[in-house]
Amino acid sequence: MKFLVDNQLSPKVAQGLRDAGHDAVHVRDYGMEKAKDEPIFERAADENRVLISADMDFGRILAFRTVNKPSIILLRWPMLRKPQDQVVVILNNLPNIFEDLEQGSIVVIEPSRIRVRSLPIGGSDG
């Protein structure tokens, strides 16, 4: 699976995913560490990468669009601060969310649950 890790998370997260055999890059690899959310969102969509972040703004961007990519993994786990622990949580949950991510979803990983919402979220009816 292809991932783009947002600046809210360490480049070590991308490295850990690469070490596990995934195609993962961090926004710093593109020189986008100071970029606004929209260009990062567009980059992930253009390259068909799953965007990994702790920034809820990406969910808001999806709410206003009728798109089914990029899929997003949002880590909403405040006590999960070490990059290696974040990688473990992502990799441990990936088998259960893989198909959802492939089809287009926003996945929120929290300490006690995982929430999955299929894309597109936005629509013309509201």
CA distance linking residue 60 with residue 48, whole number of Å:
19
Element (H, E) at 76: none
For residue 91, what are its two tokens? 């990799």
Full-model pTM? 0.93
My answer on whether omega of the bond before 120 falls inside 30° of 0, hence cis, is yes
Any idea which of 21-30, 57-66, 69-78, 106-115 has the lowest mean pLDDT? 57-66
Report the SS3 class of residue 74. strand
Confidence class for position 4, pLDDT limits 50, 70, 90: very high
Name the residue with higher pLDDT: 78 or 85. 85
For residue 126, what are its two tokens? 């509201």
pLDDT, averaged across the chain: 93
Domain residue extents for the chain: 2-118
Confidence class for position 125, pLDDT limits 50, 70, 90: very low
CA distance linking residue 88 with residue 16, whole number of Å:
9
For residue 34, what are its two tokens? 């100071």
